[in-house]
Amino acid sequence: MGLSKNDEIEILIEDMGTDGEGIGHFNGFTFFVKDAVIGDTILAKIMKLKKTYGYARLIKVLSPSDNRGEPKCKFYRQCGGCQLQALQYDEQLRFKANKIRNNLKRIGGFDDIPLLPIVGMEEPYFYRNKAQFPIGTDKTGKPIAGFYALHSHNIIANTDCALGVSENKAVLEVILAFMEKHHIHAYNETNKKGLIRHVLIRKGFITGEIMVCIVINGNELPNADILVRDLCMISGMTSICLNVNKENTNVILGNKLISLYGPLYIKDFIGEVSFQISPLSFFQVNPVQTKKLYDKVLEFADFNGSEIVWDLYCGIGTISLYIAKYVKKVFGVEIVSQAIDDAKRNALNNNIENVEFYVGKAEEVVPELYKKQGITADTVIVDPPRKGCDGVLLDTIIAMAPRRLVYVSCDSATLARDLKYLCANGFVLEKVQGVDQFGQTVHVECVVLMSKVQK
């Protein structure tokens, strides 16, 4: 029987791909089905057919897998944010550990992988300290806040993302009611009219401080004092501001901030280190797991207090500042100059003096400091973006031959590629540890310890 588009087929989901899609077979074809879980038998409709594989849409779960859980969010299939809500959390962790293992095996060529049990979250929902909601208008002309449907800019109204804090809903309801009452329009991406584009909300998990930043297509918000009064009824409200973004762009924030209430930042802690976080600053979105991640870095690095350490791709210096008191000196390198401004200010606020920060590409700054100034390192920490480390940087690290290298990664595929290169050039893979920072999604962080082969 030949298969064609729109056919409905019954398949058993036997595996899950790296993006969380269910994988099953039918008539010699491999099918990929979003939102289907390993162990499910499903009815699926064929959406696209290639020579040996196809994509199908989940129509109905005929016999649910034992691994299925109850998704907390009713929009999880429409929203691009979560991929694994239908999977029980323990199974999500197993999926993530497998993903790391498979990448190290297939891409890295490692057989004997020193993979430690993954560090999970105690509460795999409500963990994000930051949320950015687009604001739009529904068919009746009422303002709505929500999220973009997968692969589109259609806003689905939902003020209650299950990954975020409960205050998000309260803040959005105040803002939407204010907009309605004072006839303030949401920005319309098509005709570029309307005022309010996005609402950014942040909460300090340790301090309880809340920040609200309203992104506007203009220079002022009429009746802002009334909005401020209403928002201040929400417990923890610390900083309210406007962000001006009049550009025709998908970038959410502009550069200009206008304070409406309180300072232009909130404070929070990771461990004992305090951070000032502005709406424009990068800050780890899951501070609870970030602390666990950094504690793993400390454990793997096993400092004795005498080390010179390089923290490459250091962002706002969170790792540098976290480890500073355990070592002699830290050099942080980061490409974004505002992040380095934050890093320096946070060092000052915490009275941390043994850190030095450099702006630039790690692959340019590190060779420069090493070759021209002879600065070496006992321990190197890298925490690159998804694309992994630059080749020039890896070559410089190999030449510098630090005793230890701690690699923090948010993409185990590029991690595997880089580890393979390092192991071919004098390093040994000692430990690999997954840390889940993003429950319900397919993302997983990894900390790896490598040591230099002693000649």
The only residue of 108, 136, 315, 434 in contact with ligand SAH, by rule CB under 6 A: 315
Q: What are the tokens at 38?
A: 């390993």
**Is residue 134 a contact point for ligand SAH (CB under 6 A)?**
no
Shortest CB 244 distance to ligand SAH, Å: 23
Choice between 363 and 418, CB closer to ligand SAH:
363
The only residue of 237, 339, 446, 448 in contact with ligand SAH, by rule CB under 6 A: 339
Instruction: Check 79, 410, 423, 446 and give the catalytic one.
Output: 410
Shortest CB 408 distance to ligand SAH, Å: 7
**Is residue 97 a contact point for ligand SAH (CB under 6 A)?**
no
- Yes or no: say if 316 and 339 are a contact pair by the CB < 8 Å rule: yes
Choice between 238 and 318, CB closer to ligand SAH:
318
Choice between 113 and 335, CB closer to ligand SAH:
335
> Binding-site residue total for ligand SAH (CB under 6 A)?
19
Q: Site mask, ligand SAH, residues 261-300, x = CB under 6 A?
A: ---------------------x-x----------------
The only residue of 334, 342, 378, 445 in contact with ligand SAH, by rule CB under 6 A: 334
Which stretch in 2-10, 40-48, 128-136, 310-318 sits in contact with ligand SAH by CB under 6 A? 310-318
Give yes or no: 410 in active site. yes
**Is residue 391 a contact point for ligand SAH (CB under 6 A)?**
no
The only residue of 9, 172, 211, 319 in contact with ligand SAH, by rule CB under 6 A: 319
Distance CA 373, CA 350 (A): 28
Of all residues in this chain, which one has the CB nearest to ligand SAH in the complex? 315
**Is residue 227 a contact point for ligand SAH (CB under 6 A)?**
no
Shortest CB 284 distance to ligand SAH, Å: 5
**Is residue 383 a contact point for ligand SAH (CB under 6 A)?**
yes
Q: What are the tokens at 185?
A: 């329009």
